[in-house]
Amino acid sequence: MLDFFRARVCQTCDLDGFVGDCGCEFDTVNKATRQYFFPLLGDLAQRTFFRYFKVNLSKACPFWHEEMICSIRDCAVLECEAHEVPPVWIERDAEGRAIRECLGDSTTALSEMEKLLGTVDRKEAKAGVDAFAGWAEGDNAKVWIEQEEEDQGMNYINLLRNIERFTGYAGPSACRVWRSIYENCFELSPMELHAGGHCLEKRVFYRLIAGLQSSISTHLALDYYDSAQDRWCPNTALFVEKVGMHPERIHNLYFAYLFLLRAINMAGPELQAYDYDTGNPEDDEWVRGAVRGLVRASSNATTAEQCHRAFDESGMFQPRGLAGGSDAVAAEEAELHKLRHDFFVRFHNISRIMDCVGCEKCRLWGKLQVLGLGTAIKVVLGRPEDRTAEGRLSFQRNEVIALINTAHQLAKSVKAVDDFQKLEFDEIVQRWMWLAGLVLIVTGALLGLLLRRQGPKRSNRHHGECGKATNGMDSAAQGVLPIDYERTKKAN
């Protein structure tokens, strides 16, 4: 009954039915998140392996001149000291540099880049090799976002010391970044944006980006700096304005979250076999066990299993079975190939726009979460040729870190949607109670004023009654004396 009432009085949208483009209800997602995914992902994010992310935050914006803007102290990023980073990682970084020096401008690296992007432009592919091959670990150089080599500004960042929160970054700079990001999304009509409509691939692309923006807005509202009180606290009004009162933004948030969970489930074999060595055996063993639980929920966690299967990728980049003979089939295959190529290139462009973010901490989390989304896309929508001969995917360390941390950020946002609705309801109740108290005070004051105005009349009437009573008592007293007097005479 309380939930029904809360849904009717709050501006935050009532979450009912199925998440758009997913076969999972909001209630199921909320239950699985609270009971399973959020606690597990939160614990993983605290561990050594997932705590450190390597990134270049000093790269210049490739599209326009952008100054780093920090309106408050907390928008600056604290880099790691050398002793914080696991020594085994430092050793492997050195090995990676040696491998890159040996690769140089090899045609193998170029062909790998061409295979990834499907490009026919050798000059463009060469530029891509320079960007992608720079952050290779092991034999893999297929990364979805542009990263730098060790000697070009890559530094380790402790994510726990640089949490995603409100920084005051807004205005023309932030608007230009988001506008440029959405310009790289596919153009969709209102009908195509609707769940169940055509152009699923284009809609998935848009909803992933829009879902990420909803999640970021939620985090800024969840951990907001109140300068008047000099403290960090939730800002319910900001959440309602940016996310809560917009049904499509909440749908996009949940969609992006379920897409990440699907990717984690599909990459289960690779994630379970990954080397999580940080030099801390106890911590590393715990991570391996937690990852096993994350990619394949226990038998009693049915809601978690439903979330793993919520997004169905089987219809993505698949022929529609058009009639018209071999020519029509060939044309459709060419169109799908171009669509996949555009999908990759547009996403890569968005990764480059992250270097135009004017707030350092926003740039950090933008780069990490775009890489996390890119890794998820690589898993869910990757081509067979992107896998090894054994059908396996290979991941760089940064990709695994970004994938799990992005899933954690989305899980935190999904949990916060329900929390904010409760906070909004509590604030409404408090306002009602405040108004009720104010009405009682005003009513009492008016009643008191009315009584004071009528006070003299009531006082006279009261004294009059008292006078009558007194007079009666006097009469009685006067009547008693003669009776007593007669008795006295008889007695005498």
* 326-336 confidence digits (pLDDT tens): 777 788 888 88
Please compute Rg for the chain using Cα positions.
35
At residue 344, what are phi and psi to the nearest 5 degrees?
-65, -50
In tens, the pLDDT along 95-147 reads 777 666 665 544 454 454 444 444 434 444 333 333 333 333 333 345 556 65
User: In a 3-state reduction of DSSP, which class is residue 378?
Assistant: helix
> pTM for this one?
0.79
Q: How many residues does the chain have?
A: 492
Nearest-angstrom CA–CA distance, 297 and 314: 22
User: In a 3-state reduction of DSSP, which class is residue 224?
Assistant: strand
Q: How far is CA 77 from CA 8, 156, 359, in A?
A: 42, 11, 9
In the predicted model, what is the mean pLDDT of residues 188-198?
72
Token digits of residue 61 = 């914006």
Nearest-angstrom CA–CA distance, 254 and 422: 18
**Residue 25 in this model has a pLDDT that exceeds 80:** yes
Nearest-angstrom CA–CA distance, 249 and 189: 17
User: What does DSSP assign to residue 314?
Assistant: T
Written as one string, the DSSP assignment of 51-115 is HEEEE---PPPSSS------SSGGGSPPBPPGGGS-HHHHHHHHHHHHHHHHHTT-HHHHHHHHH
Within 10 Å of residue 328's Cβ, how many Cβ atoms? 12
The answer to which of 162-166, 418-422, 459-463 has the lowest mean pLDDT is 459-463
pLDDT band at residue 480 using 50, 70 and 90 as cut-offs: very low
pLDDT band at residue 92 using 50, 70 and 90 as cut-offs: confident
Nearest-angstrom CA–CA distance, 258 and 23: 10
Nearest-angstrom CA–CA distance, 129 and 108: 10
In the predicted model, what is the mean pLDDT of residues 169-187?
92
Pick 296 or 438 by higher pLDDT: 296
Q: Which residue, chain included where needed, has tokens 């900001």?
A: 238
Query: Terminal CA-to-CA distance of the chain, rounded, Å?
Result: 89
Nearest-angstrom CA–CA distance, 372 and 365: 10
The answer to which of 153-167, 398-412, 434-448, 455-469 has the lowest mean pLDDT is 455-469
Pick 415 or 153 by higher pLDDT: 415
Within 10 Å of residue 446's Cβ, how many Cβ atoms? 10
The answer to whether 48 touches 313, Cβ cutoff 8 Å, is: no
Element housing 156 (H / E) = strand 155-158
The answer to whether 111 touches 367, Cβ cutoff 8 Å, is: no
Nearest-angstrom CA–CA distance, 346 and 429: 46
The answer to which of 67-76, 78-87, 116-125, 257-266 has the lowest mean pLDDT is 116-125
Within 10 Å of residue 293's Cβ, how many Cβ atoms? 14
